[in-house]
Amino acid sequence: MLVDIAFWFFAVLIIGSALVVVLSRNMIYAVFALLFTFFGVAGIYVLLNADFLAVTQIMIYIGGILVLLIFGIMLTSNVTGVDIKSGQTGKIQMFFAGLISLFSIIFLVYIATTTNWKVSNGSDQSIMTTIDSIGKELLTNYLLAFESASVLLLIAIIGAALIARRK
């Protein structure tokens, strides 16, 4: 029962704040609404017993990406005095965007309903924590992907430093 209440709370939070993100003309509202979307997704992860994923979601999306977005918008709008608002979109663009979104929703729902998910029963104690299994999998089966991601990040850091140092 309690889990159901929590689920609906997070579901409403995610969808409500996501609507603000999409529909708000004011970019700053959109960015701060994104905070609640990310938080709600982390809450859903917790309900799914994916503890590590939930905390990673907060760490990376709220602590990293959202801060970056806020910095970008604030430094441009408040320092230069330009009010950042998303512009008007043409009717045709809106139509096609809506069409594509509709198709992707149908496609995602189709995938979600037809995939044979592995569901564990709640009594399984080994799913109490995911951090051990994620760590083992990352350093054995998915080592190549893991290492490539780290090399990519290293390249990005070097590139950022190079751009920042250029006078």
Partner 1 sequence: METFNVFEKLLGQNILSALISVLLPLVFLIIYALIAILGELKISAWIQERLGPMRTGPYGILQPLAEVIKLIQKEDIVPAGANRLLFNLAPYVIFAGSFAGFAVIPFTAAFVPAEINIGLFYVFAVGAFAVIGIVMGGWASNNKYSLLGAMRSASQMISYEIPGALVILSAAVLANSLDMQKITALQDGGFWNWFLFGGPGGWSKIWILPFTLLLSLIYMITSLAETNRTPFDIPEGESELVAGYHTEYSGMKFAMFFFAEYSNMFIVAAILTVVFLGGWTSPFGSFMSGYWWGIFWFILKAMFIVFIQIWLRWTLPRVRVDQLMYLGWKILLPFALVCFVVISLYRIIY
Beta carbon nearer to partner 1, 55 or 138: 55
Task: Return phi, psi of residue 50, to 5°.
Answer: -95, 75
Beta carbon nearer to partner 1, 72 or 98: 72
Q: Are 38 and 62 in contact (CB under 8 A)?
A: yes
Distance CA 44, CA 8 (A): 10
Beta carbon nearer to partner 1, 11 or 46: 46
- The partner residues of 85 in beta bridges, in order of sequence, read 26
90 secondary structure, DSSP code? -
Contact footprint for partner 1 (CB under 8 A): 2, 28-29, 32, 35, 51-52, 55-56, 58-59, 62-64, 66-67, 70-71, 74-75, 78, 128-129, 131
Beta carbon nearer to partner 1, 67 or 155: 67
At closest approach, how far in Å is the CB of 62 from partner 1?
A: 5
Number of C-beta neighbours around residue 30 at 10 A: 19
At closest approach, how far in Å is the CB of 155 from partner 1?
A: 18
141 secondary structure, DSSP code? T
At closest approach, how far in Å is the CB of 43 from partner 1?
A: 12
At closest approach, how far in Å is the CB of 6 from partner 1?
A: 11
